[in-house]
Amino acid sequence: MSVPAARGPLLLGVRHHGPGSARAVRAALEAARPRAVLIEGPPEGDALLPLAADPGMRPPVALLAHAADDPGRAAFWPLAGFSPEWAAIRWAQERDIPVRFIDLPAAHTLAAEPEARAPDTVRLDPLAVLAETAGYDDPERWWEDVVEHRGAGAADPKAAFEALGEAMGALREEYGDGGHARDLVREAYMRQRMRAARREFGEEYAVVCGAWHVPALRARTTAAADKALLTGLPKVKVETAWVPWTHRRLARAGGYGAGITSPGWYAHLFAARDRPVERWLTKVAGLLREEDRQVSSAHVIEAVRLAETLAAVRGRPLPGLTETLEAVRAVMCDGSDVPLALIEDRLVVGDVLGEVPDAAPVVPLQRDLTRRQRSLRLKAEARDRELELDLRKDTDAAKSLLLHRLRLLGIEWGTPAASRGSTGTFRETWRLRWEPELSVRVAEAGIWGTTVLAAATAKAESDAAGAGELGEVTALAERCLLAGLSEALPAVLRALADRAALDTDVARLAKALPALARSLRYGDVRGTDASALGTVAAGLAERICVALPVACAAGLDADAAAELRGHVDGVHGAIGLLGSQDLRERWSAVLRALAARDTVPGLIRGRAARLLLDDGRLPEEETARLMGLALSPASSPADAAGWIEGFAGGGGTLLVHDERLLGLIDAWLVSVPEGAFIDVLPLLRRTFGAYEPGVRRTLGELARRGPGRASALPGGALPGFAPTLDPTRADAVLPVLRLLLTPTPP
């Protein structure tokens, strides 16, 4: 590497996100007053640079470039308020000085295949090498000491850049490209752009780039050699836009290669021009007070003293993040890591989300989404928050439709969550979190339409045409109803009818029916007409009733029987929702056939008997007879255990109330041979282990006393149960039931 000439461009090698570098860049530019500023970044972003001066632009933001014909192939160039590149851009714009990006165009970057390297190749971390050379075991701490804690009023603002450039030059001489082979191509392009700047501005221009590139940009190479490196590079057409970014996505833990460990801390250092430790610890105290922890001004004062003492003992110029966090743990957190983890998450990293002005170019779908967000007051935030919706209210219903449509488009801004309040169908709970990558998903979804409604409709129609299984189409129909896509329903219903007519697998038919039943039962909550699904659902139910008994008697193994048992439960619930009395009678006949056939696996026979009993369609005497047959010595222990699992699985209250059934199970257990008992024990434990603790305790008491001996208790009743109905106690629950069942007025 050659020594830089006395006269030449100002090369400012920086760490991409460092407040000390950002302040030093501004100071060096102010001292040198170059005629132009060149920034490491894709040249396609030059047209978007004027937006950086817009009052509506608030970093962190990122320059997004994606392939025009494949928006999923995208790359980001993030910039924070404390990024040196952002500082250089704003400095140049404030003085009407030309500013340009000079890195390898995104057209080549996005067209290139992922960089391959030998398995034994290790990519060099230059900061880690320099930190180790200086005797530090932590690159972050070394960087803080030599750059971030350097005084802003240094005599020569360029001295630090020259020293860092020389250090990087030594590393490049020792390690070459350091395992970053593609950097050679990027640096060749940067040198070409520097030659163009030299022709336009002479030597009076500045370059702001990663410090690693400085030696290569100083090197004396020929234009022909650089052109040879760039010849034949693949290329695609790209589109660019500014998108909001977050501090969390600047963190290295998020997978960002040029990330830092503490973006929130660095943002504080950049914003706090004096007494940064005192201001930081005041923020910490405020956060802890919000969490109802007792933190006073005295705690802050003592934490400041401890942090400064730790820095002095360790020979550091100022307390760094390590010292401040140790002081916080000792003074404000009582030595606990639990509140400290909250501080690290909220303040050290943080969830700050940037903003992009309305004038920024975006795909039409993004513009429509932004308009809908504002009209519904759904602010995009980088932190998790829960949203409770009452679908009887117009605004909440509109929010629900928007979130469901975005999910159908693959834009997972919101995910459904379990509601903490009412479980009624007019309630929805969502967990919202906006991630920067969702901007790419919006660009990808832009091929389906210019509005969220149009795009979701087109996507649903396409998914229906391309669905491979019946279950996919029924799930899609349910999602269309949730999203209010009435225009897409005809295409979905056609696909549903076509696949239902051709599908002969009873398992797939049974899997598809519950989604249709839910759609028919609850579709009117959102004001969507779901009646067209009724004919298809009834046809599916009829075919299931015909095919299920045959499928259950076809020599099923344990896994297949368990799968069909789940389908039986699903179909039973679905037919209950459909509300057709004829279908219910038909289904009850199917369950009776399943419960009585010896060729049906015990798991399914037991489940069919339990469903009939719960519906009041199987007398108790007949239930006891079926159980006696299933648990007779003629039945294999495994089949009998399966019958018990099917019958008693999901809740043991029935066995608590009916000691006859419990006595049959108890007698069977006593009769199982020792060798067979070991085999059936896992099934029994799975069945009875799922019961609630109170039920298990009562069953244990009954088993200890011996089932069938209830008459030994006073009045012949079970503990807590009278032998007959007590009308006075029964009537006492009526006011509560009336309150629960009375609809809440909208």
Rounded Cα distance between 674 and 678, Å, is 7
Question: Which of 364 and 526 is assigned the larger pLDDT?
Answer: 364
The tens digit of pLDDT for each residue in 217-261 reads: 998 899 999 999 999 999 999 999 998 888 888 876 555 555 688
Q: What is the pTM of this model?
A: 0.69
Quick one: the chain helix, strand, coil %, rounded to 5? 60, 10, 30
The tens digit of pLDDT for each residue in 84-131 reads: 999 999 999 999 999 999 999 999 999 886 654 444 445 677 878 888
| pLDDT, mean of residues 699-727 | 59
Beta bridge partners of 353: 246
Among residues 593, 577, 588, which one has the least CA distance to residue 537?
A: 577
| pLDDT, mean of residues 538-561 | 80
For CA atoms 286, 287, 291, 297, give the dihedral sign: negative
Among residues 150, 350, 353, 145, which one has the least CA distance to residue 263?
A: 350
pLDDT at 2 over 70: no
Buried-state track 326-360, b at ≥16 Cβ within 10 A, e below 16:
bbbbebbbeeeeebbebbbebbbbbbbbbebeeeb
Residue type for 64, please?
Answer: L
- DSSP states along 691-725: S-HHHHHHHHHHHHH-TT-GGGSGGG--TT--SS-
The tens digit of pLDDT for each residue in 380-418 reads: 888 888 999 988 888 998 999 999 999 999 999 999 887
pLDDT value for 657: 75
Rounded Cα distance between 152 and 609, Å, is 81
pLDDT value for 11: 94
3-class SS letters over 104-160: CCHHHHHHCCCCCCCCCCCCCCHHHHHHHHCCCCCHHHHHHHHHHCCCCCCCCCCHH
pLDDT value for 609: 86
Rounded Cα distance between 179 and 182, Å, is 9
pLDDT value for 421: 55
pLDDT value for 195: 95
Question: Which of 525 and 182 is assigned the larger pLDDT?
Answer: 182
| 574 contact partners, CB below 8 Å, separation of at least 6 | 513, 514, 516, 517, 518, 537, 541
pLDDT value for 255: 52
User: How is residue 554 annotated by DSSP?
Assistant: S
Written as six digits, the tokens of 205 are 């221009």
- CA-CA distances (angstroms) from residue 19 to 265, 282, 583? 10, 20, 71
Among residues 249, 265, 27, 246, which one has the least CA distance to residue 140?
A: 265
Question: Which of 716 and 682 is assigned the larger pLDDT?
Answer: 682
User: How is residue 4 annotated by DSSP?
Assistant: P
| pLDDT, mean of residues 14-32 | 89
pLDDT > 70 fraction of the chain, expressed in percent and rounded? 89
